[in-house]
Structure 1
Amino acid sequence: MKYAVISDIHLYRKTGRFCCALEAMEDADALLIAGDLADRAQPEQYALLRECLHRMAPGLPVYCVCGNHDIPARDDTAYRAFAESIAPGGIIRDESGAFYAIPDSRTDLIGLEPCYHQKQFFFPQQGRQLAFAEQRLALSEAGIHLLLCHPPLIAHNPQRAAGMPPYLCREQDDRLQRLMDAHRNMILLSGHTHYAPTVEWDALRCNLYINNGSICPTTVGGDPAQPRQGNITFLTLESSRVEVRIKGIHTGKEFFRETFRFAE
């Protein structure tokens, strides 16, 4: 099973970057989008996204979560309508906003959608989305678990520095990290940072943390030698291993490839 992963599309009026990302998807079996699909959460922006998907990737399963740009003033009306219109069949959606899906026979997917207020992400209803994730993982028979969430955890944030607060409110950041640590064979996919993409491997638990950066070019921080172009990530799952590849959507240049082995 091959997944293409993108994030931070920030579509405003022009679809060029998004179309470049779709053209770069190779032979992916599904597309995962880690938030900030539209720049201003306007219905016409989601209409453009939908039209591009229908034209360039007809029939491709697409799983997405919202980012802070998709829920201005905590109004997710336009985003929700879009997400429902493109959702593959079989998704179990909790009232809290989280969802669960089984994209293939060995893998399940949990989508987490925190709210955003005063530059802070948080899960409402006392973290009900995290409880939903915990319940689904406890019942799961999948060998590999994908988690899709716009903000990264502080421990795996490419921007992290001493004393820096997490994007998620601290208690919930800690809780999500504990959830990751309590399980094995987890892949947490995030966006938001607009940094060059990062891949971090927890060898003790066989858990993988991927911050996908953005399909938009970035000049934000980091090592000047790191790739700054917009990028797309591929996860190819075979038996008990995953190959991670990252390439630029405009040049096609591959700048990361590594295989990780999961626990049996």
Structure 2
Amino acid sequence: MAVIAHLSDIHIDDERSVRRTRAVVDYLEDLPYDLDLVLVSGDIADHGTPEEYAVARELLDSRHPVLVCPGNHDDRAAFRRGLLKEPADTAPVDQVFRGAGFTVLACDSSVPGKPEGWLGDETVGWLEEEVRRVPEGDAVLVAFHHPPVALHLPYVDGIRQFGEERLAELAGRHPRITAFLAGHAHTAAATVFAGLPLLVAPGVVNTVLLPWERAAHAGQHVRLDLPPGVAFHVLDEGHRLTTHFRTVSTEG
């Protein structure tokens, strides 16, 4: 059995974002269990500055393995330099994590200068090649920032991942893909894409309201007072995936 903690959208900027991120990471650090992976699915920095990535790198330092992918608020060059300690480069930040019995392929769905997502030809080709390289018997989890389907959140749906038919076709060619993991929506969500689970991590910095919730909150689009959250994806030996969502107190 493998357990993956999945958080997203920490948007490091001010003291509030730092406090909420620290609360989630401290919660994971205090678990009486060694997680197989902590996945952070994008929007690490709020403005993509070197200073924000320096803070994020310190905050995300963990006793657990950590895999971080970029989102639409991130800057590829600064992300590489600040978080991965690699030379500045504007190429897609596509990464592989190999665990015991599973492989996570983290795709860069960001489009420099734009809020919506897209998997470029380079990333789609990389993903196809890496799926073929996954060790026999491993489950394959594909992660990115932007969900490739509408989630019934009008603003988020307008800047979701487009060109999703290419990803769906790839998944159809590779039945070893077990699930897709995303962020971007700032709300916990579970749906289906290409006949497979698509699991969206809750936001850390805030929570996006559903359209039918807004009337009760004076037309607000986000709630700043709701606690940050994390998803736990549990993968058993038969590649069955179970997800639990938890909120984390920021008090004390």
Q: Fold match, TM over 0.5? A: yes
Structure 1 counterpart of 2:179: 187
Q: 1:168 aligns with which of 145, 161, 172?
A: 161
Q: Does the alignment pair 1:121 with 2:117?
A: yes
Give the TM-score taking structure 2 as reference length: 0.78
Q: Does the alignment pair 1:131 with 2:125?
A: yes
1:51 and 1:198 mapped to 2: Cα distance?
A: 28
1:223 and 1:3 mapped to 2: Cα distance?
A: 31
Q: Does the alignment pair 1:213 with 2:205?
A: no
Q: Does the alignment pair 1:149 with 2:144?
A: yes
Q: Map Cα deviations across residues 70-121 of structure 1 (whole Å, 9 max, x no partner).
A: 12xxxx22211133139xxxxxxxx6432223122x1011111132434332
Counting aligned pairs with the same residue, the percent is 21
Conserved 8 A contact 1:116-1:122: no
Q: 2:57 aligns with which of 50, 66, 71?
A: 50
Query: For 1:227-238, what aligned pairs fall within 5 Å after superposition?
Result: 229-238=227-236
Conserved 8 A contact 2:97-2:105: yes
Distance change >3 Å, CA 222–CA 198, structure 1 → 2? farther
1:212 deviates by 1.2
Paired AA for residue 108 in structure 1 = T
1:165 and 1:136 mapped to 2: Cα distance?
A: 30
1:146 and 1:136 mapped to 2: Cα distance?
A: 11
Conserved 8 A contact 2:115-2:159: no
Give the SS at the match of 1:70.
coil
Q: Which runs of 5+ in 2 are unaligned?
A: 217-222
Conserved 8 A contact 1:154-1:160: no
Conserved 8 A contact 1:12-1:38: yes
Q: Which runs of 5+ in 1 are unaligned?
A: 87-94, 253-264
Conserved 8 A contact 1:153-1:177: no
Paired AA for residue 136 in structure 1 = E
1:182 deviates by 3.4
Distance change >3 Å, CA 242–CA 219, structure 1 → 2? closer
Paired AA for residue 129 in structure 2 = Q
Structure 1 counterpart of 2:85: 85
Give the SS at the match of 1:189.
strand
Conserved 8 A contact 2:42-2:144: yes
1:158 deviates by 4.4
